[in-house]
Amino acid sequence: MDFQDIVNGRRMVRSYSEEPVSAEAVDRMLRNAVRAPNAGFTQGWAFLVLDTAEDVARFWSSTTPNDRNTGESRWLSGMRSAPVVIVPLSSQAAYRERYSQPDKGWSDAEEPRWGVPYWHVDAGMASLLVLQTAVDEGLGACFFGIPRERLDAFRLEFGVPEEFTPVGAMTIGHPDRSAAASGSPTRRARKDAAALVHRGGWQTPRA
């Protein structure tokens, strides 16, 4: 598939068919994910792959707020139909350790000097490669957040070490072609580059 077709075809898919996802496709997504750029070549990320019906059910049981379990929404019903869930995680500790090494020269005890938390940024870039690879495989995917109040339950259910923070989760599967489009893009127009790009300074973009 042409790269531009992958970019243009990427969208958040919120409902999936019963067709299984091949292990080869999942492995390719992960091989591409670890090729993402990352500060200091720290590679301070991890990926929890849930690709059995039992493990996917455990994910939704541990991450769904109690008030939603009693009355399942259309969104939740559609997302639960995905046969694969991948959870990208980041480790701030890995970045602090990496930047305390001689070629970087920081003290592990000092306040990090990054303007933004690159451990999350890097995990986000790796996640985008998963989403793009899914498109190239003819699959659909959706990136979404795990509710803050369910993080402890998620960690406990899957034995996630305290140093790793889930930056979100991704459902993967074959899109349900019969499902109607949903989500914010159905209610909001996509802004074009001219409205968002500032060249040479922060002038008001051209109308």
What domain range includes position 124? 3-179
Contact by Cβ (8 Å): 88, 47: yes
Tell me the per-residue pLDDT of 54-94, one tens digit each, with 9 for 90 and over: 999 999 999 998 765 545 688 899 999 999 999 999 999 99
Task: Answer whether residue 198 is part of any domain.
Answer: no
CATH number of the domain encompassing residue 163: 3.40.109.10
Task: Answer whether residue 135 is part of any domain.
Answer: yes
| pLDDT at position 1 over 60 | yes
Please give the Cα distance from 171 to 14 (Å, whole number): 8
Task: Answer whether residue 31 is part of any domain.
Answer: yes
Task: Answer whether residue 116 is part of any domain.
Answer: yes
**Which residues on neighbouring strands pair with residue 140, listed in sequence order?**
173
C-alpha 20 chain-centroid distance = 20
Q: For the residues 20-44, what does the mean pLDDT come to?
A: 97
| pLDDT at position 122 over 80 | yes
| pLDDT at position 107 over 70 | yes
Report how far apart, in Å, the C-alpha atoms of 71 and of each of 55, 121, 122, 186 are. Answer: 22, 34, 36, 24
**pLDDT at residue 53 in the model:** 97
Task: Answer whether residue 22 is part of any domain.
Answer: yes
Q: If pLDDT is split at 50, 70 and 90, which confidence band does 137 have?
A: very high
Task: Answer whether residue 129 is part of any domain.
Answer: yes
| pLDDT at position 112 over 80 | no
Task: Answer whether residue 48 is part of any domain.
Answer: yes
What is the number of structural domains in the chain?
Answer: 1
Task: Answer whether residue 206 is part of any domain.
Answer: no
